[in-house]
Amino acid sequence: NGLPTVPVDDIKIEPRENDLVIGTHGRGIWIMDDITPLEELTPEAITAEAHLFGIQPAVSYNRYTPQGWTPGIFSAPNPPMGVRMRYHLAEDTDEVSLSITDLRGQSIRRLEGTGNAGLNEVIWDLRIQEENSGGDPMNPGPRVLPGTYLVHLEAGNSVLEGEFSVRLDPRVTISQTVLLARHDAMISSYRLSGVVSEANSALEELEEQLGDALGLLDEVSPESEDLKTEIERLLEEVDQIGNDLGEGGRGANLAGQIEGVTGPPTADQLLQIEKTWDEMPAFIDRLNILITSEVPALYARLDDAGIRPDPGSVIEMPRRRR
């Protein structure tokens, strides 16, 4: 790791992080992070198709980000937060994946790994990831609760399992009741964020298509005032649904706020989440009527003019965990 040829006066293993600390004579202190792979690097591990090394506990914490212009404060980049999963491959492997689950087998996150011969590393940032109604992965959500988790490494013909723990920041004092309430609120907001994102994407697509149809109609059949009026009405409905989503969908954007505070969610945050769950089905129903009925009916009328846009796919509400 770049260690120069230099006298080494002392070598210690830091017990908490399992780091190898080397004190040199005149060239500073050198640290090799978590030497578990070095300790477990046996001939059997090297020759096996795949070998998953032991995984150190990870700490879930809220990172402090100092202002860059604040004088008198020294700061250095933090190492990546999360679980460091290292594995050794005997040869290059095309497909490597790591699946994170809880002890009940509930899927939490699936990660793609590197397939290079030798030592490989994947860092999981402790965040869950769910799928939207279309089966596509959403953006990563809140961090998991403290506890014990499993990782399944798939590489070539090998399927290996490892176990590790996630711990709460030891500087934080919070009851289990508050911790669970905080996590439930974040998950509830996160699930709303998926459907709101889908709805906004569908609205943008409809707006673009209707705008294109209006432009093409002006070119092909400018005298068709009734069709033009219908397109303009639908564009107004798209705009209104977008405004309603922005107003009523505030509860879908609170996971980050709640996670940034090591305390219970506020009454206002819970109210916003509850309001969004209550109001969102009506917004989605209105949007789906556009997608499945009103816009296709318009397109059928436009078909004779040679304008055939696609209204898009319907949106589904996610399940709500109680």
Instruction: Look at residue 18 in the predicted model and tell me its pLDDT.
Output: 92
Query: So what's the pLDDT on residue 241?
Result: 96
Q: How many CB atoms lie within 10 A of CB 38?
A: 12
* Residue-level pLDDT, tens digit, the chain, 322 residues: 688 899 999 999 999 889 999 999 988 999 998 999 999 999 999 999 999 999 999 999 998 777 767 677 777 777 889 999 999 999 999 999 999 999 999 999 999 999 999 999 999 999 999 988 778 899 999 999 999 999 999 999 999 999 999 999 999 999 999 999 999 999 999 999 999 999 999 999 999 989 988 887 777 666 678 888 999 999 999 999 999 999 999 999 999 999 999 899 999 999 999 999 999 999 999 999 999 999 999 988 888 666 666 667 788 888 777 6
Of 153, 142, 160, 171, the C-alpha closest to 59 is 171
Whose tokens are 């590393």? That residue is 121
Q: Name beta bridge partners: 11.
A: 22
Q: What is the pLDDT of residue 215?
A: 83
pLDDT at 279: 95
Token pair belonging to 57: 């506990």
Which residue segments constitute the domains of the chain, with CATH numbers given?
1-33 (no CATH), 40-63+80-168 (2.60.40.2550), 176-305 (no CATH)
- The candidate with the shortest Cα–Cα distance to 120, out of 96, 99, 101, is 96
**How many Å apart are CA 276 and CA 126, to the nearest integer?**
26
For 129, phi then psi, to 5°, come to -150, 120
Under 8 Å between Cβ of 3 and 16: no
pTM metric for this prediction: 0.84
* pLDDT score for 316: 84
